[in-house]
Amino acid sequence: EQIKKGNYEHYMEKEIFEQPESLTTTMRGRLIRGGESKLKSVVLGGLKDHLRTMRRSRRIIFIGCGTSYNAALAARPIIEELSGVPVTMELASDLLDRQGPIYREDTAVFVSQSGETADTLQALEYANSHGALCVGITNTVGSAIARGTHCGVHINAGCEIGVASTKAYTSQIAVMTMLALALGDDSMSSRNRREEIVDGLFDLPNKVKEVLKLDKDMKELAKLLTEEQSLLIFGRGYNYATALEGALKVKEVALMHSEGILAGEMKHGPLALVDETLPIIVIATRDATFRQALRPCFLLLTYSRSYALIPDSKQQSVIQQLRARKGRLIVICTKGDAEAVCPYGVSRVIEVPRVEDCLQPVINIVPLQLLAYHLTVLRGYNVDQPRNLAKSVTTQ
């Protein structure tokens, strides 16, 4: 077993650090670099005969559990943007409890690392019986979900042993981003955007290598948080999923109460929890929810009207409101933004490399995975087999 872990103490740690390679394998042979007469694009062999049907669907429904659901949530905005098809999200058990409506004109995408999760599998049978096109995104060739779907993509992240999913999560987002590119590939208007994302995917493993250098910082942060009872994580847009997934990691392995909260909902309840003691992580990397606007301002000395960069960001206003309630803030921001994001009063800033907005969740989850890992070790819990949990839940 130790041989399989190499120089690492635990599988979870190994799998976190493997992500530059697992992402490379996920994308191998699927990205087209472009040049000469070729456009930069993607090839997803397992889907090529079904893309037309998917583009024409009435909606795309993502169905999964746990981390796999969160990965689909992270990819939802780019799939909506590039395909123009409405995307809805379903936790498999909830879809089954409600017997929610599914139609022949729907595409149902089943996301599962193991490909064997009972709830997801049963939801697949349900969607199949209602005539939807069923697509599988799994890490396990020959799994029940891979066999039961009409078509699909393997994420090829390699065997994942730690119960807390890490490398499968980032590979799932990479695959679903490639799915978005494939779905949008008949549109001229999004061509530049798509090419930028393809470039971003090529560079993603390097950027993940860079963000992994935060390991020591996250260990230090874990030391500060070891004795805490609770940790809130705020995110929005592309990084709502990061907040949910970061909190899930902290809950699953560090056995600490943690909640991922949509920052846009802060005022509608969670703000009541904020005080000087509760640690709060705010994800405020650059995307459409963090824009810098050119706004007129007056220079004090000259009284002349001038223009300066004044931050105008929804996430910054979240930070300000949390600070006004004396929240104990830890902010994840884009490299170089530390001062703009939090001029004073923030207990810690974690700077991460900037990538294309839709790929930022792949980068932003890494420090949170590291934090959950170190918290677990420091709190003395079992990293790879947390109590009461199983890697693959094959019973309902």
According to the binding rule CB under 6 A, does residue 212 interact with ligand G6P? no
CB of 314 to ligand G6P, least distance (A): 29
Nearest to 350 by CA among 359, 321, 363: 363
Rank residues 138 and 285 by Cβ distance to ligand G6P and give the closer one. 138
Q: What is the DSSP string of 155-166?
A: -------SSS--
- Cβ atoms of 165 and 66 within 8 Å: the answer is yes
Among 47, 63, 65, 368, binds ligand G6P (CB under 6 A): 65
According to the binding rule CB under 6 A, does residue 63 interact with ligand G6P? no
DSSP tally for the chain: helices H, then strands E: 15, 14
What is the DSSP code (8-state) at residue 73?
H
According to the binding rule CB under 6 A, does residue 26 interact with ligand G6P? no
Subset of 371-390 contacting ligand G6P (CB under 6 A) = 389
The one segment of 17-25, 51-59, 64-72, 321-329 that binds ligand G6P by CB under 6 A: 64-72
According to the binding rule CB under 6 A, does residue 41 interact with ligand G6P? no
Rank residues 26 and 114 by Cβ distance to ligand G6P and give the closer one. 114
CB of 71 to ligand G6P, least distance (A): 8
Rank residues 20 and 66 by Cβ distance to ligand G6P and give the closer one. 66
Rank residues 67 and 170 by Cβ distance to ligand G6P and give the closer one. 67
Distance of CA 6 to CAs 1, 3, 105, 219, Å?
9, 5, 48, 21
Q: In 255-380, where does DSSP find H-type helix?
A: 314-324, 338-341, 360-379
349: helix, coil or strand?
strand
Q: How far apart are CA 152 and CA 143, in angstroms?
A: 12
Rank residues 125 and 220 by Cβ distance to ligand G6P and give the closer one. 125
Rank residues 357 and 384 by Cβ distance to ligand G6P and give the closer one. 384
64: helix, coil or strand?
strand
Site string for ligand G6P, 150-179 (x = CB under 6 A): -------------xxx--------------
Subset of 68-87 contacting ligand G6P (CB under 6 A) = 68
Rank residues 212 and 389 by Cβ distance to ligand G6P and give the closer one. 389
Site string for ligand G6P, 281-320 (x = CB under 6 A): ----------------------------------------
What tokens does 280 get? 């709060």
Nearest to 237 by CA among 197, 289, 286, 285: 289
According to the binding rule CB under 6 A, does residue 254 interact with ligand G6P? no
Nearest to 283 by CA among 314, 325, 256, 249: 314
Among 113, 156, 171, 364, binds ligand G6P (CB under 6 A): 113
Among 112, 149, 171, 239, binds ligand G6P (CB under 6 A): 112
CB of 363 to ligand G6P, least distance (A): 20
CB of 67 to ligand G6P, least distance (A): 3
Rank residues 256 and 342 by Cβ distance to ligand G6P and give the closer one. 256
Q: How far apart are CA 262 and CA 63, in angstroms?
A: 20
Rank residues 67 and 177 by Cβ distance to ligand G6P and give the closer one. 67
**b or e along 130-149 (b: 16 or more beta carbons within 10 Å of the residue's beta carbon)?**
bebbbbbbbbbeebbbbebb
Q: How far apart are CA 30 and CA 185, in angstroms?
A: 14
Q: How far apart are CA 350 and CA 366, in angstroms?
A: 11
Among 66, 200, 361, 367, binds ligand G6P (CB under 6 A): 66
Q: How far apart are CA 242 and CA 106, in angstroms?
A: 27
Instruction: List interacting residues with ligand G6P (CB under 6 A).
Output: 65-68, 112-114, 117, 120, 163-165, 389, 391-393
